[in-house]
Amino acid sequence: MTRICVLGLGYIGLPTASVFAANGFHVVGVDVDSQIVDVLSKGQIHINEPGLKTVVCAAIQSGNMLVRQVPEQADVFIIAVPTPLKDDNSAELSYVIQATESILPFLQQGNLVILESTVPPRTTEDILVPILQKSGYKIGEEIYLVHCPERVLPGNILHEFVSNDRIIGGINDKSSDKARGIYEKVVQGNLLITDATSAEMAKLMENTYRDVNIALANEVCRIAYDLNLDALEIIKLANMHPRVNLHQPGPGVGGHCLAVDPWFIVEKSNNAELIRLSREINDAMPNFVVGLVKKMLDQVVKPKITVLGVTYKGNVDDIRESPATEVIRKLKQANIDVGIYDPYVKNYEFEVSNLEEAFVASDLILLLADHKEFKYLSADELGFLMRNKQLFDTRNCLNHSKWKDAGFSIKVLGKNNQNS
Ligand SMILES: NC(=O)c1ccc[n+]([C@@H]2O[C@H](COP(=O)([O-])OP(=O)(O)OC[C@H]3O[C@@H](n4cnc5c(N)ncnc54)[C@H](O)[C@@H]3O)[C@@H](O)[C@H]2O)c1
């Protein structure tokens, strides 16, 4: 039976490990965080992803998956550790370097090493190859190496892991062939073979494409405020053209991928001008939203606002790089009292309240993440708790007539200053 050692048991590594185990592989999942190993060993999971707990528990109970704090010998090593941004917007590769170094004592001739973490172009060739060479094996001939970027969507990871097409970028053909032999056992999508650096760049371009297009929508939104226009109406009309598909504006771009990956290209090429500017436009949106909030509250003494949702998008518990954090920070800097309600988030750098506490004596609801639960909130009951009934929906996701009927004045990001 093929043995797989997966390093990093987070949003990517845990589904990867458990899906391989469910398909008959013998998997050792490794995480340096002892709490994560403890939680998983007790049959619990530490992340919120639909269906994942069932697959992980089944994998562990079947004996196909073990959870450890250090690697073990295996046929295949999959590295799925974090690659965050440093303060200077360059890639923090120390986790990838440590994880690669940690497998050196366990490498054997014929092993395949798969880097799934998202990395700047040339990382596999320039950083992983020299580390693996320290094993004494010839890389590409005795140890095989590929970059197989992950492109799943949080909230739908288990389905997309199996059904998405997958890029396999080997440092040579033998490496790609080896990796194809592993992924074809679990992936139903196409396996797209290329070289390691092209795989790295293609992955980054997927998220960069989306980031640049969101920046364009956010720019339309800001221009519309200058020209006293409704950006959402303009985007809707333009999208009636058969070859136009403008995105929607929002309070900023977050998450560990879209807000991060474009910088990995900027770091490597001075020609990445549009990509850099798009990041800057999207990063400026929290400030723009706070400016609009301040205008709405300019008549209110000692204002309090209720933030609904702090994750980077709806229906997930992921707060990484969430624009909500920057919005809240700026509101607090402006001495605005902030009550926060998010049914998905428990640990956050600001206090998350229960529903009633978040709304009591509030002057404005600021919706920042479109969790489905928010659609079922009672506008009447919550309005009763508030001091002023204002709603600012930055995701254009609520039933505005319901809130209007309950006496709220409504603003929607992009709809300029009109009541919707
Ligand atoms: N989350 C996503 O939706 C997504 C999508 C596509 C690609 N990616 C990429 O996948 C990679 C992993 O992301 P994630 O969201 O799973 O991160 P994560 O933070 O959820 O999980 C990473 C785990 O790795 C562990 N770890 C760190 N160093 C380690 C080491 N040396 N050995 C073993 N474990 C170690 C951490 O403790 C953590 O539990 C990143 O490069 C990310 O950009 C993520």
Interior CA angle at 53 toward 47 and 57, to 5°? 130
Query: How far is ligand 1, taken at its centre, from the CA of residue 69, in Å?
Result: 15
Phi, psi (deg, nearest 5) at residue 213:
-70, -35
Query: How far is ligand 1, taken at its centre, from the CA of residue 7, in Å?
Result: 9
Q: Is 164 exposed, middle or buried (0-12, 13-18, 19+ CB in 10 A)?
A: middle
Strands 144-147 and 166-170: antiparallel
Active site residue 257: yes
Q: Give pLDDT, residue 416.
A: 75
Residue 407 lies in a domain: yes
Which atom of ligand 1 sits closest to the CA of residue 46? 39
Which atom of ligand 1 sits closest to the CA of residue 119? 41
The secondary structure of residue 126, as a DSSP letter, is I
Task: Return d(Cα 106, Cα 78) in angstroms, integer.
Answer: 13
As a whole number of Å, the CA-based R_g of the chain is 24
Residue 322 lies in a domain: yes
Q: 3-class DSSP state for residue 72?
A: coil
Q: Give pLDDT, residue 43.
A: 86
| Domain termination site, one of 258, 283, 308 | 283
Q: Give pLDDT, residue 154.
A: 82
Do 176 and 79 fall within a single domain?
yes
Residue type, 393: D
* Catalytic residue selected from 257, 304, 313, 411: 257
Buried b (16+ CB within 10 A) or exposed e, 149-163: bbbbebbebbebbbe
Residue 268 lies in a domain: yes
Beta strands in 227-324 (DSSP E): 304-308
| Sequence-ordered alpha helix ranges (H) in 239-389 | 261-266, 273-283, 285-296, 323-333, 355-359, 379-385
Do 187 and 231 fall within a single domain?
no
Q: Give pLDDT, residue 419.
A: 44
Q: Is 240 exposed, middle or buried (0-12, 13-18, 19+ CB in 10 A)?
A: exposed
Query: How far is ligand 1, taken at its centre, from the CA of residue 416, in Å?
Result: 39
Do 376 and 330 fall within a single domain?
yes
Residue 98 lies in a domain: yes
Supply 157's token pair.
């990871």
The secondary structure of residue 106, as a DSSP letter, is G
C-alpha closest to that of 50 among 344, 278, 287:
344
Residues paired with residue 339 on neighbouring β-strands, in sequence order:
306
Q: Give pLDDT, residue 348.
A: 96
Residue 340 lies in a domain: yes
Q: Which of 4, 5, 6, 12 to mutate to test the pocket of ligand 1 (most atoms within 8 A of CB)?
A: 12
Q: How many domains does the chain have?
A: 3
Q: Is 310 exposed, middle or buried (0-12, 13-18, 19+ CB in 10 A)?
A: buried
Do 302 and 406 fall within a single domain?
yes
Helix pair angle (231-238, 196-227), 10° resolution: 130
First to last CA, the chain: 61
Do 14 and 144 fall within a single domain?
yes
DSSP code string of 148-205:
----PPTTSHHHHHHHS-EEEEESSHHHHHHHHHHHTTT--S-EEEEEHHHHHHHHHH
251 touches ligand 1 (CB under 6 Å):
no
Task: Return d(Cα 290, Cα 335) in angstroms, integer.
Answer: 12
Q: Which of 31, 261, 316 to mutate to test the pocket of ligand 1 (most atoms within 8 A of CB)?
A: 31
Do 256 and 225 fall within a single domain?
yes
Query: How far is ligand 1, taken at its centre, from the CA of residue 36, in Å?
Result: 13
Nearest-CA residue for atom 37 of ligand 1: 33
Nearest-CA residue for atom 25 of ligand 1: 8
Q: Which of 150, 264, 319 to mutate to test the pocket of ligand 1 (most atoms within 8 A of CB)?
A: 150
Residue 418 lies in a domain: no
Residue 417 lies in a domain: no
285 touches ligand 1 (CB under 6 Å):
no
Q: Give pLDDT, residue 48.
A: 85
Residue 372 lies in a domain: yes
Compute the residue count for the chain: 420
Query: How far is ligand 1, taken at its centre, from the CA of residue 134, in Å?
Result: 24
Task: Return d(Cα 25, Cα 4) in angstroms, integer.
Answer: 7
Phi, psi (deg, nearest 5) at residue 222:
-70, -40
Q: 3-class DSSP state for residue 239?
A: coil
82 touches ligand 1 (CB under 6 Å):
yes
Find the CATH number of the domain harbouring 225.
Answer: 1.10.1040.10
Task: Return d(Cα 132, Cα 107) in angstroms, integer.
Answer: 9
Which atom of ligand 1 sits closest to the CA of residue 257? 43
Q: Give pLDDT, residue 417.
A: 54
Cβ atoms within 10 Å, residue 37: 19
Supply 288's token pair.
């723009």
| Domain termination site, one of 213, 248, 283 | 283
32 touches ligand 1 (CB under 6 Å):
yes
Do 15 and 163 fall within a single domain?
yes
C-alpha closest to that of 154 among 293, 17, 258:
258
Task: Return d(Cα 411, Cα 323) in angstroms, integer.
Answer: 19
Nearest-CA residue for atom 28 of ligand 1: 95
Strand order in the sheet with 390-393: 337-341, 304-308, 364-367, 390-393, 409-412
Q: Give pLDDT, residue 69.
A: 97
Query: How far is ligand 1, taken at its centre, from the CA of residue 328, in Å?
Result: 26
Q: 3-class DSSP state for residue 349?
A: coil
Find the CATH number of the domain harbouring 128.
Answer: 3.40.50.720
Task: Return d(Cα 87, Cα 83) in angstroms, integer.
Answer: 13
- pLDDT per residue as tens, the chain (420 positions): 899 999 999 999 999 999 999 999 999 999 999 999 999 998 899 988 899 999 999 999 999 999 999 999 999 999 999 999 999 999 999 999 999 999 999 999 999 999 999 999 999 999 999 999 999 999 999 999 999 999 898 889 999 999 999 999 999 999 999 999 999 999 999 999 999 999 999 999 999 999 999 999 999 999 999 999 999 999 999 999 999 999 999 999 998 899 999 999 999 999 999 999 999 999 999 999 999 999 999 999 999 999 999 999 999 888 999 999 999 999 999 999 999 999 999 999 999 999 999 999 999 999 999 999 999 999 999 999 999 999 999 999 999 999 999 999 999 999 975 544
Do 311 and 406 fall within a single domain?
yes
Residue 292 CB-half CA count within 13 A:
29
Active site residue 203: yes
Can you tell me which residue has the tokens 């640049």?
A: 212
Q: Give pLDDT, residue 420.
A: 42
Interior CA angle at 76 toward 14 and 174, to 5°? 130
Domain containing 341 equals: 286-412
Buried b (16+ CB within 10 A) or exposed e, 242-279: eeeebbbbbbbbbbbbbbbbbbbbbbbeeebeebeebb
